Amino acid sequence: MNKDQIFEQRRKDLQELEDNAAQKQHLKGKLTARERINVLFDEGTFFEFDAFVSPSQTPASSRKNNFGDGVVVGSGKVQGRSVFAYAQDFTVLGGSLGFAHGTKIAKVQEMALKLGAPIVGLMDSGGARIQEGVKSLSAYATIFRNNVQSSGIIPQISAILGPAAGGAVYSPALTDFIFMTNQTSYMFVTGPDVVKEVLNEEVDMEGLGGGNIHASKSGVAHFVSDDEEHTIMLIRKLLSYIPSNNYEALPLSNQTSFYKSRQEYLNKIIPDDSNRPYDMKEIINIVVDKDTFFEVHERWAQNIVVGFARLNGKSIGIVANQPKVMAGTLDINASIKGARFVRFCDAFNIPLLILEDVPGFLPGIEQEHNGIIRNGAKLLYAFCEATVPKITVITRKAYGGAYIVMSSKNTGGDFNFAWPTAEIAVMGPAGAIKIVNKHELSKAENKAELEKELTEKYKNDVANPYKAEEFGLIDEVIVPSRTREILITAFEILSNKQYHKPARKHGSIPL
Ligand code: HXC
């Protein structure tokens, strides 16, 4: 064959591989690597390279069956912005990560970092290629190191669209967001067979590490959906809120409509009985631009709500206590979830809005023994460390340590607002009167009556927002229906916030 014929033949071989991949993947209800890439990128913008890289140990005669070595890499546009991606092809050697495969991924990671563009990994792989032994492991190590070196500089997103087993799970785990699909993807360090052998526990793949489990129990997955196309569309949506790198300005939207007629409802959304729940997400959706709230970790640690939204067209990150779930208390998982989100937003200069209604940290033996102290400290650390504009609105309870943690003034909150319904104090009335009025209560003839009276008095005299306003710890008590308007102004004032931290290698967050 002359050179022209070789050129033509290679393209034919590649097409044959793709047709073969389509046949196999479609049978399993899955897309091929290139089809996934096409869903991710704006039409016709993907530029693939290294398509003919071959496995290092394959004889020349069978190379054409393995062109690309099981991974498609390249760059394209998502909503007009540059993004790099790699997509593993399970139909070539089980998408297993051989040295050439790993080198391709490392190359695209390094390009993304150099060019300040997000990177998306679409994973579907049997893990380290067994035949290539330690070379395969070394390629993994390079990928992990690149993940860490890119952290906080470019957004890194992983979608698990098939198996991710063993050490292979750690590249996604090092990235900022993990997406999974129900029934067709799973992640675990050791599979069901090993679990059975070592622990005699019976579990299937879905039950051990499927999308549902990781989205609701382990918190490993930030997003889960029922089909691949939807999963990949969600990645596009996520990218629309975040900058391409830690120096780039936030993407702006010219859609700034909001639920104007619902603003007044905020004046009566807080129930008269302060122990009754309400849905914090309702407040979020009324305050931010219409239908822009994009929740992260929706099904895990639901006592705290985190996610992106737009306010007057600008991206913000929201961290909010959820009174509807466990009364909005902070437990271990909520602290970890909140801390992780705050640190992502801070790394990428996304301003933070904190909506607060928190009665305190969750008490109990289980929480204490599992380290609520160590884990609660993560959220405290994250808020204290964050230098992006931070605005807190206290809607109701803000008690004790939890008040401090949720971006209170002296942790570095730039603006701290409260609704008139706010209850800011060292502890709630029930606990406080038992300590402060112990003697009176022990002597009281009608204890219940006195308790009611003292509670009312405590609420009026102590647990209100006005004391904090007098001390300048609340910048202003605001009318709830004006929240959106005030937040827009306040974020505008803070838009030029500059903060230079003293030099240090890095802090020592209590991990
Ligand atoms: C080489 C592999 C492979 C691997 C799959 N294949 N995994 N080849 N190395 N790791 C090949 C198979 O031989 C087969 O080739 C083809 O891919 C499809 O695999 P099947 O087994 O037929 O597919 P399926 O029944 O869907 O099962 C998928 C699977 C299973 C569950 C992923 O293949 C499997 O258990 N693979 C091994 C998973 C694993 O233990 N990996 C190592 C994890 S440890 P043919 O030629 O028949 O089509 C790890 C360490 C990373 O990754 C460390 C990083 C620090």
Per CATH, domain 3-239 is 3.90.226.10: yes
Q: Which residues are near ligand 1 (CB < 6 Å)? A: 93-94, 96, 126-131, 137, 140, 163, 165-168
Domain with CATH 3.90.226.10 in the chain: 3-239, 260-422+464-495
pLDDT value for 56: 73
| Structure-token pair, residue 341 | 């989100």
pLDDT value for 444: 86
Enclosing H/E stretch for 162: none
Q: Is 328 a catalytic site residue?
A: no
Minimum CA distance residue for ligand 1 atom 50: 167
| CA 37 to chain centroid | 22
How far apart CA 7 and CA 13 sit, in angstroms, is 10
Q: Is 207 a catalytic site residue?
A: no
How far apart CA 256 and CA 139 sit, in angstroms, is 46
Q: Is 402 a catalytic site residue?
A: yes
Give the active site residue among 221, 339, 398, 402.
402
Nearest Cα neighbor of 85 from 57, 128, 122 is 122
Residue with tokens 């239908």: 291
| CA 432 to chain centroid | 36
Residue of 30, 66, 69, 93 to test ligand 1 pocket, by largest number of atoms within 8 Å of CB: 93
Residue 474: strand, helix, or coil: coil
Minimum CA distance residue for ligand 1 atom 34: 126
Kindly list the distances between the CA atom of residue 185 and the CA atoms of 122, 123, 140, 174, 218, in Å, as whole numbers in the listed order: 11, 9, 20, 18, 15
Task: Provide CB contacts within 8 A for 423, sequence distance 6+.
Answer: 274, 396, 397, 398, 399, 459, 463, 464, 465
What is the Cβ-side half-sphere exposure of residue 333, based on CA atoms within 13 angstroms? Answer: 19
Q: Within the chain, how many helices (H) and strands (E) appear?
A: 19, 17
pLDDT value for 60: 67
* Class of 260-422+464-495 in CATH: alpha beta
pLDDT value for 482: 98
**pLDDT under 70: residue ranges of the chain:** 59-61
Q: Is 80 a catalytic site residue?
A: no
pLDDT value for 347: 98
How far apart CA 117 and CA 130 sit, in angstroms, is 32
Nearest Cα neighbor of 219 from 308, 333, 378 is 333
pLDDT value for 70: 95
pLDDT value for 2: 86
